[in-house]
A and B are shown apart, each in its own frame.
Chain A
Amino acid sequence: MEVINEIRFSMPSLSVNEAAARAVVSAFMTQADPTVEELSDVRTAVSEAVTNAIVHGYRGTKGKVEMTVRLLSGREIYIRVKDCGCGIEDVEQAMEPLYTTAPEEERSGLGFSVMSSFMDRLSVRSKVGKGTTVTMRKRLAPHDD
């Protein structure tokens, strides 16, 4: 899979950066001329992953969230969100719909469900005490030109 373009950035774990991350990804995707729906799918998935890094990974402590966004050949968008936070003990369980470790904070356990249903592929690698890396891909509809 050929990488046509790539952008990397990192940001401190401040909740205000959830919107910033969405804005960067939206701007990057413009070159692929996505549909409104494709753009909103990717923005929502990115928001979920970045929010998880801030809310669960770092739990209010300071840390860095690193993002890589790529446009691959075949009109595929690749996104990686990495934190060096607390990590996830049981990834399979964490990915179950409605599973949350923070119900008292009004979290509903839907983040991973949103990521997997709005993107084509989702993979989560995590190590307790080391951090979590979420990788997602979505193929955009073919274009005429």
Chain B
Amino acid sequence: MGIDIRSENGAAIAVLSGEIDHHSAKKLRTELDRFIITMQPELMAMDFGSITFMDSSGVGLIMGRSKLLRECGGRLEIHNPQPYIRRVLKLSGLERIVRIK
């Protein structure tokens, strides 16, 4: 599991890689929250292109970050999820809260 966050003109891109489960979500949450709180980005895009696995712990991670971003006046987008991760996203109804591209 890896994470690399960059920011440009108020927009942040978090490139995630590997597997998101209950175990790995803890570290991702800490790193993402630290960034969101200090940088207060207007937009954060999480690039899921290199995520190879995600279960409902990932849904909790996305919902929590989306909420935190909204509280800081920003919003979240999910980019490039693989088809089988899209199915988990779809089941969760997340598409109504977070833009998925």
| Chain A residues engaging chain B, CB cutoff 8 angstroms | 15-16, 18-19, 22, 36-37, 40-41, 43-44, 47-48, 51, 54-55, 105-108, 110-111, 113-114, 117-118
Contacts and interface: CB of A to CB of B under 8 A. Distances in A.
A54 B57 CA distance: 13
Interface in B40-76: 53-57, 59-61, 63-64
B88 interface: yes
A106 B56 contact: no
Interface of B: 19, 21-26, 29, 53-57, 59-61, 63-64, 83-84, 87-88, 91-92
B68 to A, nearest CB: 11
A51 B55 contact: yes
Nearest to B59: A108
A18 B91 contact: no
Most A-side CB within 10 Å, residue of B55, B61, B63, B64: B55
Contacts of A48: 55-56
A18 B21 contact: yes
Contacts of A107: 56-57, 60
Given A48-B55, A48-B56, A110-B92, A16 B23 contact: yes
Given A19-B19, A47-B53, 11 more contacts: A40-B84, A44-B84, A44-B88, A54-B22, A55-B22, A106-B63, A106-B64, A108-B92, A110-B59, A110-B92, A111-B56
Contacts of B21: 15, 18-19, 47, 51
Nearest to A107: B60
B92 A44 contact: no
